[in-house]
Amino acid sequence: MSDRYLHLVTAGEWEASVTAGVHEPPSLATQGFIHLSTPAQVAATVARHYPDVADLLVVEVDPERVRAEVVFEEGEPGEWFPHLFGPLELDAVVDVRPWSEPASTG
């Protein structure tokens, strides 16, 4: 389990969620859950699914504050991702920031 989960969303999608008072992305209706990543997974997730999104935001979620169940499920072969099986309440969000590639360490 991670101390924090990260969720990727465009600025426009996040603005709509703030207006609505809850975050319910399309995946919640189509797949039954919200895709999350651990901090160690997020850069690869961006590269795989959001390589050309200019207004990408990272929503940082405190696992202690979410009300719905979080289950780790295999996404990429051998890699387990947290999935939130319900809406993301805004009071579980501890930070929202623009995505920036982490600095290389070597």
Q: Is the pTM of this model over 0.85?
A: yes
Q: What is the model's pLDDT at position 102?
A: 63
Residue 103 has pLDDT above 70, yes or no: no
Residue 78: how many other CB atoms lie within 10 Å = 6
Length of the chain: 106
Q: Where are the alpha helices (DSSP H) in the chain?
A: 11-20, 26-30, 42-49
Distance, first Cα to last Cα, the chain: 27
CATH architecture type of domain 5-98: Alpha-Beta Barrel (3.20)
CA dihedral (93, 65, 26, 35) positive or negative: positive
pLDDT band at 57 (very low <50, low <70, confident <90, very high): very high
pLDDT per residue over 5-29, tens digit each?
999 999 999 999 999 999 999 999 9
72, 19 Cβ separation under 8 angstroms: no
What are the extents of the domains in the chain?
Answer: 5-98
Joined tokens for residue 69: 């169940």
Rounded average pLDDT over 69-81: 91
